[in-house]
Structure 1
Amino acid sequence: MVLAENITADQLAAARQGKARAIARLITQVESSAVAARLVVGALYPHTGQAHVVGITGPPGSGKSSLVNELAKAIRRDGRRVGIVAVDPSSPFTGGALLGDRVRMRDLAGDTGIFVRSMASRGSLGGLARSTAAVVKVLDAAGYGVILIETVGAGQAEVDIAAAAHTTIVLEAPGMGDDVQSIKAGILEIADILVVNKADQPGAGRTVKSLEMMLHLALPDVPPQDDGHHAPASAAPDGHETAAPPTGWAVPVLQTTATSGAGVAELLATIDRHRDHLRAGGGWAARERARSRAEIDHLLRDRLLDALTARVPSVERAALLEAVVARQLDPYSAADRLFTAAQGSPSSA
């Protein structure tokens, strides 16, 4: 039976049974169409909520993909199924993306307990793609107990991952410049676990000590909040709340070497310990609430922008832009006019 957008009940059932081909097709439809994403998530949502979502972020060159590769293999050795969502940056000029994570994770191929999906950011800020949350739900409903999200790695503004994951891992690597950069823009505060990767390189010990010092300065002890966190929820640059570390959780600084697998077992044990800590202390429900709030906000914003594009002719938008450039109109007044026009009837242009 075809539900809509070429999505069938059999396809949904096959995805829930963990069949890779059905999962891949659903994800493609979710990425390609907002209507399909709504239908798929609506059908699968009652079967979600079981997966432990782990976000991994950090600067380019810190070894995120290599560490995700080793972490996935360690999870599989425990007998658990793992889904990987790797977000790659899109070109601002062509819109294309290399999707190089598929190359870096090629040794995971052939394991039916691992599903890897590379996604293009397509201009989305915050390190994630527009449809990341929907893709995670497909993998959750398909029975993947751990879902690893690797962000773009574009810099210090990737705090959206804190609202999309239960556990957030921030990677650093020695020899990548001023260690103080880590503390800027909230990238340090979103970490549940800090990892110094490439620990076999010179300067790793200094990086660990710097991060430990920054943690002491950035996360002083404060009274617990009503949501069960030991620090107030922090505000991301876009105004969203991001979950602070839970009450009683001391953010650890671990060392790994992804190329050899050193430290990965300890990292996995810490991830599991953080999951258990969240579930035992009420932090899991608080983070689910924060994730849901952030997702609803994103969907509303996307729909408003889509409505604006549909209702206001491109010629009118271009004319307002030129008026702002020519200093004939200020940006606030232009936004007011666009907002008013978007509330009218759809344009036939």
Structure 2
Amino acid sequence: MLEAVRGHDHLAIARAITAIENRTALGTELALAVRERNNLCRTIGVTGPPGAGKSSLINALLQELLPRFHRVAILTVDPSSPISGGAVLGDRVRMAAHSANPNVFIRSLAARGHLGGVTRTTRSVMDLLSASGMEIIIVETVGTGQSEVEVADLTDIKIVVCAPGLGDEMQAIKAGILEIADLLVVNKSDLPDAARTANHLKAMLHHRGHEERRAVVSVSSQNGNGVSALVDAIEARFAALPFAASSTSDSDGYSRSWLARDVADAAAALVLHTPDYRIEASVERVVQGTLSRAEGINIVVGLLPEFAAARK
């Protein structure tokens, strides 16, 4: 399957992502195999409050990005279905105009109860897309607030989308999202109060001394105004990045908290996919009330080295 992924086979890429999301043995193997990210792949995080028009902006961005970059991937992090764990919102519903383009790959990732703006498997999926030859990967995150700062650990450029009339600029300050932005985009610039919103954001940047490092760009996803200028600003920031900024997923942005998540995921996969009577016995005893949950956890944690050794 890995060779098909590297050959830019969309069906193979989709199946590989599903395996990674479901944390199957194949998914774990693929995630390990693609950890070294392609030097030429650049990544963009798009975040912001609900209703700001993130998906509409990405749809407009694709019109400008495709003539400049050969292959573009879009990852949209959607709320999960409480029953299936699958993404509720459809990627092709929002970006249907580009879904048939062989140089565009669009995929929704289910948040699956994760509180952050990205899923626990987003990093591995991005590595896989890089291995498939993507030049640009755009990650659109759930509009949940402060936890969206996680996207800053994963992408080269961070775009925070605001819109007039939503009080987004104040919400951005309170949530801390403003601090991660490389570019602040005022979407729906054709609406009333758009200029006021842009000026408010510029004033906040000036107050915080961020004017040189961050820029405010006004765009309209509906009529395309300002989108070309936004892509110019993105390219300028790409050019200022070190060449190897995206060369590996294990160097930049990897933190103790991400390591803890990865370890927890690996441990969960071992428990879920290792048939062992001791696990079932512990679960049964907890259900019966003869064993506390803490005691059950300690028993299973003690078994993890044995399970890991058996998988080698």
With structure 1 as the length reference, what TM-score do the two structures score?
0.75
Q: Cα RMSD over matched residues?
A: 3.1
Q: Is the 8 A contact 1:65 1:101 kept in 2?
A: no
Residue 259 (structure 1) aligns with: 222
* Cα deviation 1:9-33 (Å, max 9, x = unaligned): xx21121121212212212222222
Residue 22 (structure 1) aligns with: 12
SS, match of residue 77 in structure 2: strand
SS, match of residue 106 in structure 2: strand
Question: 1:343 aligned to 2:306?
Answer: no
Question: 1:175 aligned to 2:168?
Answer: no
Question: 1:165 aligned to 2:155?
Answer: yes
% same residue: 37
Structure 1 residue 216: Cα displacement: 2.9
Question: 1:289 aligned to 2:247?
Answer: no
Question: What is the CA–CA distance in structure 2 between the aligned matches of 1:74 and 1:106, rounded to whole Å?
Answer: 16
SS, match of residue 252 in structure 2: helix
Question: Number of paired residues?
Answer: 297
SS, match of residue 182 in structure 1: helix
Counterpart of 1:86 in structure 2: which amino acid?
T
* Cα deviation 1:103-132 (Å, max 9, x = unaligned): 010000221111111121111121112221
Q: 1:118 aligns with which of 108, 112, 126?
A: 108
| More relative contact order, 1 or 2 (CA 8 Å, 6+ apart) | 2
Question: What is the CA–CA distance in structure 2 between the aligned matches of 1:139 and 1:285, rounded to whole Å?
Answer: 13
Residue 309 (structure 2) aligns with: none
Question: 1:274 aligned to 2:232?
Answer: no
Q: 2:197 aligns with which of 176, 192, 207?
A: 207
Question: What is the CA–CA distance in structure 2 between the aligned matches of 1:119 and 1:285, rounded to whole Å?
Answer: 23
Q: 2:127 aligns with which of 137, 140, 143?
A: 137
Question: What is the CA–CA distance in structure 1 between the aligned matches of 2:301 and 2:95, rounded to whole Å?
Answer: 47
Residue 184 (structure 1) aligns with: 174
* Cα deviation 1:46-88 (Å, max 9, x = unaligned): 4634310111011111111111111122111224210111111
Structure 1 residue 317: Cα displacement: 5.8
Question: What is the CA–CA distance in structure 2 between the aligned matches of 1:108 and 1:117, rounded to whole Å?
Answer: 12
Q: Which stretches in structure 2 are left out of the alignment for 5+ residues?
A: 307-312
Name which of structure 1's ranges 249-258 and 27-36 shifts more when overlaid on structure 2. Answer: 27-36
Structure 1 residue 201: Cα displacement: 0.7
Q: Is the 8 A contact 1:99 1:120 kept in 2?
A: no
